[in-house]
Chain A
Amino acid sequence: MAGAAIKAEAINKWFGEGTARTHAVKDVSFEAKFGEMLYVVGPSGSGKTTMLSMISGILRPESGTVRIEGEDIWHLSRDALAEFRLHKIGFVFQDYHLFPRLTTAENVAIPLILQDRPWDEALAEAARNLEVVGLGNRTELAPVKLSGGEQQRVAIARAIVSRPEILILDEPTASLDGDTGRNIVRFVREHILSDQRCIVIVTHDSRIYEYSDRILRMEDGRLTGIERSQLDAQ
């Protein structure tokens, strides 16, 4: 698959009212391609998460357009946008947000269940994806019984189980030690990234920059630079 997976054009976002009104994202434009692992980096408060939310159909920009595979997502209805996210985008949240009362397999199966896939079929598919992330023997455990790195892998399995073309990872290494964080991102790079998939990672962990294709730098709501990564240079 070639071409732009995500195309953001002049997106803006303000928060607050009156004197407390803040311009959180200012005229940001960029493209992310299939087969690419794109990092969005910058200090806290630079607008990374806001920008990520707007390109993933979660937060509506005040102006500008976001196209995913050519589809202007902010022209979709609320329900159509939810459906779009369900089929096209996989999320890995910073705190994983796994249901502690469900097994890992049930957690992973959630996107398929939301797609109305039969329960047993969804669980079987979830088990296969847990196998992919190396947790095939942990399907019946509760997430709380897993280590932080394992929980992150469960969250990744949940994000890829419905085979979305776009994968969004928010601070994937924030809760992990250095080695585990690097292993997770290397794993994503080696096993999850493909020509049919685009991965966007928000991070300010410079130790994992080496696994990126390109890095978008943000500061004070603006895009201050787009860099080719060291990987690319090699």
Chain B
Amino acid sequence: MPGILQIAYKLLVNDRSKFAALLVGITFAVFLMIEMTSLFAGVLSRSSSTVINLGASIWVMDPAVQTVANTIPLPDYVLDEVRSIPGVKYAVPLYSGGALLKLRDGTYQSVNIVGLDDDTLFGRPQMVSGNIEDIYGENAFIAIDDAEFYKLENPRIGTEFELNDHRGVIVGIARVASSSLFGVPTLYTTFNRALQYIPNSRFTMSYLLVEPKTPADVARIKERVTAAGYLAVTRDEFVRKISEFYKYKTGVGTNMMLMMLISFIVGLSISGQTFYTFILENIDKFGALKAIGAKGRELVAMILFQATFVALTGYGIGVGLCAALIWLARARLPDYAAIITFSNLGLAFIMVVVIASISSYVGVRKVLRIEPFDIFRG
């Protein structure tokens, strides 16, 4: 490290109270920003859990669908139409809907029922115990062992329940990649059994899951489905569509932005004010350095180094604290939805850079304006 930066480092860290205040400001801001955005990312990820878990390449739906949870049933002919599009390898129906389950102790529990295509079981979950073929058995359901599993009273193979006065039996336990957003357990069964157990409207298919023969066929399939009056989107597009709904069409995104802004302002206020005071307290010393022979750019380098050091240290501590809190929360609350993504980290980093830039800009201006002659004049 060049000597002048070593001096800057010592000036900063040896002023323990100011250094601590600067770190607290940045750390607090980073912690809040990452925690907020991680919660939001967790919520968005959970909101697309069905899409992620089933893994279909293309989803066909009513154009009015906004999230995977608010299904609008499709008429049967759409399935035939889609299957007839050149480039479609296969297309299968999917049932997705809510139901009320009566557990053994007599209590009721809301569940999400996923009905897989009877012929192919496309989108089947990864079995933990039991065989997937058992889903064809009488009254058979597969329970998903996710964060909400305990709400079904931790069922085992053979556990019975009631669904709309029908008897249901757990024939297997399975895992999926992502838990659902709404805090309800998930049961998988066949498409036809789902229709038998749950009252439905005239149309029954929630979605069509489509696999193209080649990636090049995707565009044509989307075009033909659109021409038929429906919407075909890829998995990533559907996830994005759901995310955008929560971001822009609910208050969640706005509140998250507000929290980010508040965190930013708090961080900027504490760090900016402290850094400014730090510079003010040393301004005569910087003037003396100028008189001795330090060049303007060397003083700027000192201040930028100090601001960068505080920003990076505070950022690291903030990220660490946030990760620790999420880890702790997950240990206690299995369905705690928070994900630290690279985007979250990047966004918080940009905010920290802005805070450090504004703080150091004020300091740099002050230091560049001080004239060594002022030091002689006292």
Residue positions of A touching B, CB distance < 8 A: 49-50, 52-53, 56, 58-59, 78-79, 82-87, 89, 91, 93-95, 97-99, 101-102, 106, 109-111, 113-114, 116-119, 122, 158, 170
Contact = CB atoms under 8 A, between A and B. Distances in A.
| 6 tightest A-B CB contacts, nearest first | A86-B293, A113-B3, A97-B288, A101-B14, A85-B293, A58-B372
B292 interface: yes
A84 to B, nearest CB: 8
Nearest to B10: A102
A118 B1 CA distance: 10
13 contacts: A53-B373, A58-B291, A58-B376, A83-B293, A83-B295, A86-B294, A97-B287, A98-B285, A99-B7, A110-B292, A113-B3, A113-B4, A119-B6
B70 interface: no
Contact of A49 (B15, B284, B291, B377): B377
Contacts, number: 90
Contact of A101 (B10, B289, B293, B375): B10
Contacts of A86: 292-294
A111 B288 CA distance: 11
A170 B372 CA distance: 13
Contact of B376 (A101, A113, A122, A170): A170
Interface in B244-301: 282, 284-285, 287-296, 298
Nearest to A155: B288
Contact of A59 (B288, B373, B378): B373
Interface of A, secondary structure class, is helix
A59 B287 CA distance: 13
A101 B2 contact: no
B142 to A, nearest CB: 66
B284 A97 contact: yes
B317 interface: no
B369 to A, nearest CB: 14
A24 B146 CA distance: 83
Contacts of B3: 109, 113-114, 116-119, 122
B184 interface: no
Interface residues of B, number: 30
Nearest to A54: B373
A83 B297 CA distance: 13
A85 B235 CA distance: 68
Contacts of A118: 3
A116 B2 contact: yes
Interface string B7-27: 100110011000000000000
Nearest to A117: B3
A38 B282 CA distance: 31
Interface of B, secondary structure class, is helix
Interface of B: 2-4, 6-7, 10-11, 14-15, 282, 284-285, 287-296, 298, 371-373, 375-378
Contacts of B371: 58-59
Nearest to A95: B378
Contacts of A109: 3
Contact of A91 (B10, B292, B296): B292
Contacts of A53: 372-373, 376
Given A82-B293, A114-B292, A116-B2, A93 B375 contact: yes
A91 B291 contact: yes
A51 B331 CA distance: 72
A106 B376 contact: no
A195 B288 CA distance: 27
A119 B6 CA distance: 9
Contact of B7 (A93, A98, A106): A106
Nearest to A52: B376
Contacts of A78: 295-296
B9 to A, nearest CB: 11
A205 to B, nearest CB: 16
A82 B376 contact: no
Contact of A58 (B14, B282, B289, B373): B373
Given A56-B291, A116-B3, 16 more contacts: A49-B377, A53-B373, A58-B291, A58-B376, A82-B290, A85-B291, A94-B376, A97-B287, A99-B7, A99-B11, A101-B11, A111-B293, A114-B3, A114-B293, A114-B294, A119-B3
Contacts of B288: 91, 93, 97
Contacts of A49: 376-377
A198 to B, nearest CB: 18
A3 B282 CA distance: 39
